[in-house]
Chain A
Amino acid sequence: MARFRIAWVVLVSLAAGLLTFGSAQSAQQQTLVIGGDWTDLITLDPGVAYEFSSTPIDDNIYQRLVQFDGTDLSKVVPGLASSWDIASTADGGTTITFHLKDAKFSTGRPVTAQDVVWSFDRVIQINGPSAFLFTDVAGMKVGSTKALDDKTVQLTLPKGVNPQIILNMLTFNIGGVMDATEVQKHIDGNDYGQKWLNDHSAGSGPYMLDRWDRGSQVVLTANPEYPNPPSIKRVILRYMQESNAQRAAITSGEIDVAYNFTPDAFNQAATDPNLKTIKTDSFRMQYLGMNSGPGAPFADNRVRDAVRYAIDQQGIINDLLGGLGRPMQTIIPYGLMGADTTQYYTYDLEKAKQLMAEAGKSGGMTVEFLVATGACGGGVPCADLAAKIQSDLAKIGITTNIKQTTSAQLYTIYRQQAAQLVLAEWSPDYPDPNGNASPLADYNAKSLAWRNVWNDAEGTKLATEAATSTDPAQRKALYAQLTKYVAQNGPYAILYQPYVPIVTTAKVQGFARSAQGDVDYAAISKLP
């Protein structure tokens, strides 16, 4: 009999649970649930985080000295610093002096110049994946950042470093300021508080890290110390790798925003009155890398030209991407200063075949084609894109043997200059044309030009000149020269600049995503 009674209690409680389901409704309006593939998330420590997924989250937790004006990435506006002055130093370098606003961390402590110094030095001491931005690009060392008083910070840059580039760079999460007093309380051994920051936050942004259930969700809650309380009190980033799962969940209202729709699903969602589709910009570009080293299959620029003529760019963008990409053939994409949107190549098989013949390859050639697993830019599976390129190149006698590996393995091979043909995606480390020009054109930067063994004096010269020039007009002119030169001589066949497809429910208002991937959660609200 007792067993029966327990069963009843359970049943009644279940029924009660069902009835109280309605009370969750009010909380729903203040909660934003984003479904996405967050598997690349490693840490939310702003001094270490360097993944596509972590930056946009950190930007809502940690304020930087300067930030971009919403989604307009051409304008740097005040963040924690209300103003700043740039001055030259005696040895040809520069200083940037920042004047701090009054702001409070989520811990209740005020943001001071000492916190800025500690946060910046910490990045250099940890020397994590993003630290090269400070050490290599900005030439910073421990001690380069000084607190002149509680509200003034001075950053000293060596000669040859362009302060404009550094200001752009400081908008990135690496410039996030954390509560030094709080983090120092939680240091474990030599870890600068990294372990504690895995599950906690100490920033001054509108949100703070509430919990992070690995593989399941990241939960942010509104920072009570933030001056303008946001309408959304709780942001939940739900791990959902599968495009289908996101689609199912947004249709049933279990998530408000979906990040990984396939192009076909996106275009179908556009016709659904309950959903909103947003094509957001990105600085990413999808490209083919061709090994141009001596003796390599693409050593002859005529063969590379043939590939550029043989790629059916329109077919890829219209059919495979369903319009979720823009034709792009140069190394500086839409949205960056010096963007070059000229179409240097049109789809021309005859021309391509002729170039192959001129290069002495009319008999055809066979190359290994490295492709990563997973989705490529615009949400199209890399395998599909690779198959399309394989069939395009077959038409001019280039046989490609697709070798699909995890991206970790792909990059291992690529880094050893051992890839023949590779399908990859690039995105600049910071929104400045130099973020593309130097790695893609300068062999000495040991990045893409190096990986594709394209050692070209002209490319190196133009990229270096443009990087150090402080005259905006001159920089622009140099980049115009460089983009044309690399488009026609470089080791790349750039395929397209993808859009990032975002789908939200019709209730979500004010969702905007910058080309860098940043989303200001505080600007979002939800209709009842």
Chain B
Amino acid sequence: MTAPAFLRSKPARRFLRNPGTVLGTALAVVLVVIALLAPVLAGDPLLQNLGHRLQGPSAQHWFGTDQLGRDVWSRVVWGSRISLRIGFVVVAVSLAVGGAVGMAAGMLGGFWDELLMRVTDIFLAFPALILAMAISAALGPSLGNVMIAVAAVSWPNYARLLRAQVLAVRTLDYVEASRALGAARFRQAFLHVLPNTLTPLLVQASFDIGSAILTAAGLGFIGFGAQPPTPEWGAMVSETRNFINEAPWASSAPALAILVTVLAFNLLGDGLRDVLDPRGRTRR
């Protein structure tokens, strides 16, 4: 049996010892399962029933109903698919773009390094929500454009991270050795640099899934996000915010869903850092 052996390994034990990490992992897994099982767990998120507007939580409607009499539970459950997809896609795109830019800057050095990093600075200096707002306004509000907008503000972190890693790793002996042996630059990059940078990337990615979901929901809140009646969490909070008196559940349920999801990925990020980077244990 390999599983118990794995669980007895040092990093795994460290992982399991931290209740926060376990909680984060469990939450993340549950969220993914909920998203996958949405058709089973929930009803039609778009079905309106004006006769049953703004009803409180009941056996029939676990989280009550919203201003169009739609079942809030169903909307939150289906919304998890959207938010998780945004989180994963944004991080994947940021990783690809930022990673490529950072690695190119680190490997090429000199002028190209300067240029690429200054371009990265430009994106870092751009006020995130305004950039996202502008992109969303330019391309028209849609889920795909939300992802582009959020990725546009999150890739610079990866560029910086990867460049720093490349520079650090390049000076290591075995890379020097392989260079002396005449290995091509890009082979070097893939063979040596990439594996060594996986650890901080994984940690960063985990945190970024959370923050991407948060930013996307913020865009949804100000109306630059998913199209109605899509059950996107930020848009749901926005649409129901004026009913905070009559139906607090309608805005609280999606807001709490955002909170729990972001929390889960932050905890996961914390845990991953502890496990994968023991020296940095106390850093945050």
Contacts and interface: CB of A to CB of B under 8 A. Distances in A.
Chains A and B share a contact (CB less than 8 Å): yes
B227 A403 contact: yes
B94 interface: no
B218 interface: no
Interface stretch (A33-41, A150-158, A384-392): A384-392
Contacts of B39: none
Nearest to B54: A264
Contacts, number: 67
A381 interface: yes
Contacts of B46: 387, 391
Given A244-B244, A371-B228, A383 B50 contact: no
A319 B65 CA distance: 14
B125 to A, nearest CB: 25
A243 to B, nearest CB: 5
Given A387-B228, A405-B140, A243 B242 contact: yes
- Pick the most buried of B53, B54, B223: most chain A CB atoms within 10 A of its CB: B223
B137 interface: yes
B67 A384 contact: yes
A320 B46 CA distance: 16
A243, A391, A401 interface centre (most CB from chain B within 10 Å): A391
Given A373-B223, A384-B68, A404 B245 contact: no
Contacts of B246: 264, 268
Interface string B239-253: 101111110000000
Interface residues on B, range: 20 to 34
Interface string B120-164: 000000000000000001001100000000000000000000000
Interface in A377-399: 381, 383-384, 386-388, 390-391
B196 to A, nearest CB: 46
B48 interface: yes
A381 B67 CA distance: 10
Contact of A388 (B48, B137, B227): B48
A402 interface: yes
Contact of A264 (B48, B137, B243): B243
Contacts of B137: 406, 409
Contacts of B227: 401-404
Contact of A383 (B48, B53, B239): B239
B182 to A, nearest CB: 57
A203 to B, nearest CB: 36
A291 interface: no
Interface in B43-65: 46, 48, 50-51, 53-54
A373 B241 CA distance: 15
Nearest to B230: A402
B229 interface: yes
A55 interface: no
A366 to B, nearest CB: 15
Contacts of B67: 264, 320, 384
B229 A405 contact: no
A244 B141 CA distance: 25
B242 A320 contact: no
B229 A265 contact: no
A244 B46 CA distance: 25
Nearest to A267: B246
Contact of B229 (A374, A387, A403, A406): A387
Interface string A247-265: 1000000000000001011
Contacts of A383: 228-229, 235, 239
Nearest to B246: A264
Contacts of A244: 241-242, 244
A193 B51 CA distance: 56
Contacts of B242: 242-244, 262, 264-265, 381
Contacts of A262: 242-243
Nearest to A394: B46
Contacts of B244: 244
Interface in A390-449: 390-391, 401-406, 409
Contact of A402 (B51, B229, B241): B229
A307 to B, nearest CB: 18
Contacts of A319: 50-51, 53
A409 B140 contact: yes
A510 interface: no
Contacts of B229: 383, 386-387, 390, 402
A388 B70 CA distance: 11
Nearest to A379: B242
A320 B51 CA distance: 10
A57 B73 CA distance: 45
Interface in A352-378: 371, 373-374
Interface in B64-114: 67-68
A315 interface: yes
Contact of A386 (B54, B141, B223, B228): B228
A421 to B, nearest CB: 14
Given A265-B245, A381-B242, 6 more contacts: A374-B223, A383-B228, A384-B228, A390-B229, A402-B228, A404-B141
25 contacts: A243-B242, A244-B241, A247-B245, A264-B54, A264-B67, A268-B245, A319-B51, A319-B53, A320-B50, A320-B67, A320-B68, A373-B223, A374-B223, A384-B67, A384-B68, A384-B239, A387-B228, A387-B229, A390-B229, A391-B46, A402-B227, A402-B229, A403-B140, A405-B140, A406-B223
Interface of A: 242-244, 247, 262, 264-265, 268, 315, 319-320, 371, 373-374, 381, 383-384, 386-388, 390-391, 401-406, 409
The 4 closest A-B pairs by CB, nearest first: A383-B228, A319-B50, A387-B229, A373-B223
